[in-house]
A and B are shown apart, each in its own frame.
Chain A
Amino acid sequence: MNFFTENEDLKFILETADLSYIIKMYENNFREGDACDYAPNSIEDAIENYNRVLEVAGDISGRIIAPLSESIDTEPNYLQDGRVIYSQPVQKCLKAFCQAELMACTISREYGGLNLPNFIFTMLVEIISQADAGIQNIFGLQGIGTVIETFADHKLKEKYLPLFASGKITGAMALTEDEAGSDLQNIKLRAEENPDGTWRLNGVKRFITNGGADILLVLARSEPEIKDGLGLSLFLCEGGSSVSVRRLEDKLGIHSSPTCELCFNETPAYLIGERQRGLVTYVLALLNGARLATAAQSTGIAQAAFNEALAYAQVRKQFGRRIEAFAPVAEMITKMKVAIEASRALTYETAKVMDMSAATVKRLNSENIESTEKKQLRRNSKRFERLAMLLSSLAKYYCSEMSIRVTRDAMQVLGGSGYMKDYPVEKYYRDARITNIYEGTSQMQILSAFRGILSGTMEKYFHELSCFDFPGQQSALEKKLQRGRKLLSQSVDFLNNRKDSQAVELYSRQVVDMATEILIGYLFLKQSLRSSRKLKIAKMYINDLGPVFKMRASYIKKADTACLKNYALIVNRI
């Protein structure tokens, strides 16, 4: 099995994505070719490299990780003298990544990385998640290297980035504390400066993914007198004797990814970038990437569950017929597939916008730019940044909820067998369950996305998408989406005018759902220009939306807050 070459939809997305501007900017017009023997020398060459990288990841995922996935789930990582020891199967997976030199995908070649755009890295994340979602967490934390490259000083980069590139070290991001989950401003872990400019960390972090890593990026309070997010800075420290892993969490799923409680005791640390910018600049800059990765992870898990469900439905017979011949089963399977492709469209649209944002910044930073172009680039950069924030929230929210729904339905298709450990579907279901919780719960994503919709960023983007010259069939479908947009903007205005913050909080979900559905409609419509199969999907998807839009709009218009008014009475709060 190769999880890339055998995934037609993923290949379709790559083939139809126009990455030329992004590649040119990422490759700085191919100037690196002479200095580095693995740098591409043209757009085509870069695309060939991307395909090869994806094939290798597809091979590792299908041939090495997927067969280990069951033992990964049942053989736990363990703690020894305050250090995390990966289980044998987890070690095998990580070894394969190192051998393939896939542990520094996004850092630049100067430090031994592959300089891949987000778009391709996101595909790797999806492919690996299809094999095992928890392994993806350790793999994905190579993003720590990118944070170091972007924000840390030269000395730290020189010291740590080549180690990431060689696969000798893994990283972790230590943000969460007991009282600071969604609310990171409340972080307590103390950072104190030494006379020589280095720092010491003291305190406790919780729920830290891969907390036993060699390198930790830690959000800590460097300004004890400032109580909010402005009092926080970002630090780099090495895992070791001064960072003990107090406990490994016992979790529902993603067993390959060790979730740790960490105790910092006079831990030596270096400041990353500037003081006080830890949360407000650096961590916020990471959020989009973390959301995007979770969206891709969700999609990968759902794809794995779908494959199992489809294979089962094709052979399982009841009442003398294959169960896929029964309407309710066929409907379930079709909807699973459409939802996965919707997630994929949304995920890679988001990845592309994030790359456009990064590419624009790269262009801005290059030499000899005329002032008119500069102005335009600045405007674009802001626009892409706003859009990236909105789309990453939408993608994270939609894909994670989709993953939970699809894995649940996959279990439904397998029936009693799916509930048993004999099939991997129950594992996918458990793994999927974390996706709408970590990296910002669905409720937080809705809040964040709702702001983007209120600000008009969403409607501007819809307008751009609708400026496409759609031919006959697509044009009729586009009109339906336009009607949805009208209902959406009426609903947003209505909520805005109500000045009832509780009603807004309650019904923002309906608004965000509607916006997501319209966006997916447009993305399917764009895909339908390249594939007749996608036209069928677009038709089905968009035609289904009419009644849904109406329902959402009338809910919003009613803006009933009875559940809040009668809360105490109904829940029998004592």
Chain B
Amino acid sequence: MSYKIIVLIKQVPDTTAVSSQTMKEDGTLNRGVLPAVFNPEDLNALEMALSIKERYGGSVIAVTMGPPSAADILRDAMYRGADKVFVLTDKRFAASDTLATSRVLSQAVRKIGGFDIIICGRQAIDGNTAQVGPQVAEKLGINQLTYVEEIVDLTDGKISLWRSVEEGKELAVSSIPLLLTVTQTANIPRPPSVKKIMKYKNAEVRNSLSEACGINDLSSRGLLIEQWDAESIGMDPEMCGASGSPTQVKKTEKVVLKGKQFKKIEQTDEGIRELLQELIKDYVFD
């Protein structure tokens, strides 16, 4: 048995590289100053997909929604072992909230079709909503298991896995097809293959409908990053982008951490006891 696995990935501003220029005066994110990176938990999702492929056979397809430059993370996915990649690019997709995004992604997944497992990172570091994965599963009407830590077994259309829950971990079983979300503790993402980098660094984005020259040549050499717009996935433009997004940002607040908010804790029993008391008081521990 071999499995068709789709991984949904996102290019995000690297919020771990935050500096004083990160926020604009109006409190929105200044994307220009932050490098664009592969969302970290999506790398864990890709790793899980690749290890299922290694263990049971199959293929891994990576899909992202974003501007054409988001193809960078698709190339990265190819370097790590993805067999096929798609970028969903359309101006009308811009400003999609999680609901609109999940509509676009699920349409793309439908078009790809015949999948067994969809894997997503739990959440992206720019929005931290953790909603897109579950919403895609809802739209497709399939099972979902979130916070997956480890695949135990996958046979006869049944998957069993460990998922992380608040008090420990839980062994869950489901039929396929289904959607999984994965956190950073699930695995250590593999490094890219240098040979694949040398090969796929020249992979190019082409719109499949435009019949641009060279598309077949690129495809036969494995260098095609196929680009789909709203029409090519049969997406009603009204249902995506700003018009398809019920979420409105009411207000954002700029929080500046000041030095005085730090407190030095002495490395003594007394100091540690005080720290613990404080953490319990703030409900960090209970």
Residues of A within 8 A of B (CB): 37-40, 48-49, 52-53, 56, 59-60, 63-64, 92, 96, 99-102, 114
Contact = CB atoms under 8 A, between A and B. Distances in A.
Nearest to A59: B191
Contact of A100 (B194, B201, B221): B194
B40 to A, nearest CB: 11
A49 B188 contact: no
Nearest to A68: B188
A53 B190 contact: no
Contacts of B195: 38, 101, 114
Given A37-B221, A64-B188, A99 B193 contact: yes
B96 to A, nearest CB: 31
B193 A114 contact: no
A48 to B, nearest CB: 7
Contacts of A53: 194, 197
A100 B199 contact: no
A52 B198 contact: yes
Contacts of B194: 49, 52-53, 56, 100-102, 114
Contacts of A49: 194, 197-198
* Chain A binding surface, main DSSP class: helix
Given A38-B196, A56-B192, 7 more contacts: A52-B201, A53-B194, A56-B191, A60-B191, A92-B188, A101-B193, A114-B195
Contacts of A48: 201
A99 B198 contact: no
Nearest to B191: A100
B139 to A, nearest CB: 34
17 contacts: A37-B199, A37-B221, A38-B199, A52-B194, A56-B191, A56-B192, A56-B194, A56-B197, A60-B191, A63-B188, A64-B188, A96-B190, A96-B191, A100-B192, A100-B194, A101-B194, A102-B194
A39 B199 CA distance: 8
Interface in B44-61: none
B262 to A, nearest CB: 14
Contacts of B188: 63-64, 92
Contacts, number: 45
Contacts of B190: 96, 99-100
Interface string B197-225: 11101000000000000000000010000
Contacts of A102: 194
Closest 10 CB pairs of A and B: A38-B198, A100-B191, A99-B190, A101-B193, A38-B199, A101-B195, A53-B194, A52-B197, A60-B191, A38-B195
Contacts of A101: 193-196
A39 B201 CA distance: 12
Nearest to A96: B191
A64 B199 contact: no
A56 B192 CA distance: 7
A96 B47 CA distance: 12
Contacts of A96: 190-191
A64 B201 contact: no
Contacts of A40: 198
A564 B191 CA distance: 56
A376 to B, nearest CB: 33
A479 to B, nearest CB: 46
A37 B197 CA distance: 11
Contacts of B191: 56, 59-60, 64, 96, 99-100
Nearest to A67: B188
Nearest to B189: A63
A53 B191 CA distance: 11
A63 B193 CA distance: 15
Nearest to A105: B194
Contacts of B198: 38-40, 49, 52
Contacts of A39: 198
Contacts of B192: 56, 100
Nearest to A49: B198
A53 B198 CA distance: 9
Contacts of A38: 195-196, 198-199
A238 B192 CA distance: 30
A96 B80 CA distance: 11
A64 B47 CA distance: 14
Interface string B56-96: 00000000000000000000000000000000000000000
Contacts of B221: 37
Contacts of A114: 194-195
Contacts of B193: 99-101
Interface string B164-187: 000000000000000000000000
A106 to B, nearest CB: 13
A362 B196 CA distance: 27
A167 to B, nearest CB: 10
Nearest to B223: A37
Contacts of A63: 188
A102 B198 CA distance: 13
Nearest to A99: B190
